[in-house]
Structure 1
Amino acid sequence: MATLPIDDNLVSKFRPTKVLRDVEKGKKITSVNFDDSGELCLCCSTDDMLHLYNCTTGKFVRSFASKKYGAHLACFSHHSTSTVYASTKEGDTLRFLDLNSNRYIRYFVGHKDKVISLDVSPVDELFLSTSLDNTLRLWDMRSSTCQGLLNITSPAVAAFDATASLFAVASLSTLTISLYNIKSFDLKPFQQFSFPKPPYGVTVSHIEFSTDGECILLSLSSGGFLVLNAYTGKVMLQNQDQSASVTEESLKYSSACLTPDSKYVFGREDNKHVAVYNLHDNSRHSSLQRPICQLDMDMEVPSIIRFNPRYAEFITAVDDSLTFWTSDVS
């Protein structure tokens, strides 16, 4: 899978190949994250568990209980044997877990309310967290001491760019994306632009940069998304479709994704399809362009879509089920 170029033909032939249900029935998967190699993925769920999967075999590996603290937004460190994740029940502490021994390496204490976004630097051991306490915190996995604090307007989500030289903060309250230099983020943002107001009751659930640094993807809790030029803030693509019948709980975790080559956006179109858009198609100039293809779902519309960083495969999460998608192109 790793050697296949991602093109229109390949993405149009993606099909669900395996569905796994290792989450307690009636509970929901709330986050999905891949390790650097793309061989493993880790899911958090509302049954207060972390679930580890092998992406090359499409098999469940093991679960890790966090019954006392809850678990959300688990992100691998740059080692496939450890992860940092947010508590959801007792306090708002971030926990650094060794997956081999199932023991905590370190705790990151400081947030005073629920953590709603977590992102690990792509180049080193730093990571960002944003909370409903109106703060962004910068951490180093090698130290329990907060490395920096930024006052923001919650709810807001944040992410590094591919070089980790800057990060973006998207605030729903101010409808702005602010760009900060990692070396001087305690100063004002060096760039700031607005984004369109989402429909009533819809929030921003996720943010990510394309790997080429050209655009920023904002996922909306309705299942829609916005793609903006990372330099000007111009809306390049938007899908604010709200026809998907989702539960109140799943709205919190909805997210689209970019492919590793920065060429495609995968999002949900309606109750029956995953929609794929080609950002590099120069024949489409409208931000309201239609998808190049719609992939049929055999189940409910997904609340999470994540593309593997190393392999031509993506994963969707629907309630308590995780689905692996691969292309049948030969």
Structure 2
Amino acid sequence: MTGGGPMMMLERDDKVSMELTDEVFKSMEVGMAFRDYNGRISSMDFHRTASYLVTASDDESIRLYDVQNALCLKTINSKKYGVDLVSFTDHPATVIYSSKNGWDESLRLLSLNDNKYLRYFKGHHDRVVSLSLCPRKEYFISGSLDWTCLLWDQRAEKAQGLLRVQGRPAVSYDDQGLVFAIAFGGRIRLFDARKYEKGPFDIFPVGGFDSETHVVKFSNDGRLMLLTSKDGHVHVLDSFRGNVISTYNVKPVISKGTLEASFSPDGMYVVSGSGDGSVYAWNIRSGKVACWASTDTEPPLIKWAPGSLMFTTGSSELSFWVPDLSKLGSFSGVK
């Protein structure tokens, strides 16, 4: 673990007074890094309201971090099942995670307090590659290489619904939990969460049929969506009309890694990994803002901290990125 200065200086008091601008973005750098992983980070998730981050990694560990104080609170090993994707439930002490052992594709509801399994969710027959929890209710959706998306209720072991797809699916709920998206084969399909069995109410073409989809996400206000693909494209769409607002190009993913991008909390910026390990940032209105090169050769995962001037990257290490106020000179962007 390394880092300089009070890393979380913008976590609470300043986040109201300081807005994200191109200059603030360009000043961002790694304020703290945890380098004690023995494998690549495969998933990260911030809790929506509590100041916690959870990571999963190829060293078969799940780690819980106190974001405000940059502390690793707990490490839980999942040697038997492995761990691939992980997401917080509403409760900051429970997570749902997928396995990586190749013989048991169940999802698990795990209590971080006492390291106990509260429930198993059985139904997939191949690796789960996408997981999204409904922000308003106890539902979640998973997408698998078995070409199905299953809809679940955290209180029941069996899936509540099944949707078949024609390729590797990426899934995501919107911030209200009213709509979910399933992306594959150059299309994003939008479903009403209450009437999903009637099929998609909208289908947006994006990318191409042969481009493998990696991630689909909504902006916090639900107005925009982003989609990333293995061939190195990051598309931003209007989530109501379906038109592509912008497409950014990074290096394609050659490895088994995932090309992930995230919206900033205000929905004005996109931060993305790249197949060459770099991190890119764009202003949705005006284009590229910054690029940070890396000695890594696989795309880092990217997650933005809710309501904060901070994002994390996950690769062979976990890095917290914050603005460097000394680079901002006259504090442009501070009201």
The TM-score with structure 2 as length reference comes to 0.86
Distance 1:218 1:36 in 2: 21
Contact 1:223 1:255 in 2 (8 A): no
Contact 1:38 1:310 in 2 (8 A): no
Contact 2:184 2:212 in 1 (8 A): no
Q: 2:203 aligns with which of 192, 195, 198?
A: 192
Distance 2:291 2:27 in 1: 8
How much has 1:276 moved relative to structure 2?
Answer: 1.8
Percent identical among aligned pairs is 29
Provide structure 1 residue ranges, at least 5 long, that are not aligned to the other structure. Answer: 285-289
SS at match of 2:158: strand
Contact 1:38 1:309 in 2 (8 A): no
Q: 1:108 to 1:271 in 2, by over 3 A?
A: closer
How much has 1:154 moved relative to structure 2?
Answer: 2.4
Q: 1:99 to 1:166 in 2, by over 3 A?
A: same
Q: 1:313 aligns with which of 310, 313, 319?
A: 310
Contact 1:223 1:268 in 2 (8 A): no
Please give the residue correspondences for 1:6-21 in structure 2 after superposition, counting only pairs within 5 Å: 6-21=20-35
State whether structure 2 residue 242 is matched by structure 1 residue 248.
no
Name the structure 1 match of 2:235.
Answer: 226
State whether structure 2 residue 189 is matched by structure 1 residue 178.
yes
Name the structure 2 match of 1:213.
Answer: 222
Q: 2:272 aligns with which of 267, 276, 298?
A: 267
Distance 1:104 1:269 in 2: 35
How much has 1:139 moved relative to structure 2?
Answer: 0.9
Contact 2:170 2:214 in 1 (8 A): yes
Distance 1:62 1:316 in 2: 19
Contact 1:216 1:230 in 2 (8 A): yes
How much has 1:102 moved relative to structure 2?
Answer: 0.4
Contact 2:235 2:246 in 1 (8 A): yes
Q: 1:121 aligns with which of 118, 134, 144?
A: 134
Name the structure 1 match of 2:83.
Answer: 71
Distance 1:271 1:135 in 2: 30
How much has 1:38 moved relative to structure 2?
Answer: 5.3
Instruction: Give the residue type in structure 2 aligned to 1:130.
Output: G
How much has 1:188 moved relative to structure 2?
Answer: 2.1
Please give the residue correspondences for 1:22-171 in structure 2 after superposition, counting only pairs within 5 Å: 22-24=36-38, 27-37=39-49, 39-89=51-101, 90-171=103-184
SS at match of 2:24: helix
Distance 1:272 1:163 in 2: 33
Name the structure 2 match of 1:287.
Answer: none
Q: 1:95 to 1:326 in 2, by over 3 A?
A: same
Distance 2:78 2:321 in 1: 28
Contact 2:274 2:300 in 1 (8 A): no
Provide structure 2 residue ranges, at least 5 long, that are not aligned to the other structure. Answer: 1-9, 326-330
SS at match of 1:238: strand
Distance 1:153 1:99 in 2: 35
Instruction: Give the residue type in structure 2 aligned to 1:158.
Output: V
State whether structure 2 residue 282 is matched by structure 1 residue 277.
yes
How much has 1:247 moved relative to structure 2?
Answer: 5.8
1:239-289 CA-to-partner distances (Å, cap 9, x unmatched) read: 23227xx6613x3x220111111111012468575322122x3xx4xxxxx
Distance 1:47 1:300 in 2: 18
How much has 1:10 moved relative to structure 2?
Answer: 2.1
* 152-161 or 75-84, larger mean C-alpha shift: 152-161
Instruction: Give the residue type in structure 2 aligned to 1:235.
Output: V
SS at match of 1:186: helix
Name the structure 1 match of 2:7.
Answer: none
Contact 1:71 1:86 in 2 (8 A): yes
Q: 1:216 to 1:62 in 2, by over 3 A?
A: same
Name the structure 1 match of 2:262.
Answer: 257
Instruction: Give the residue type in structure 2 aligned to 1:10.
Output: V
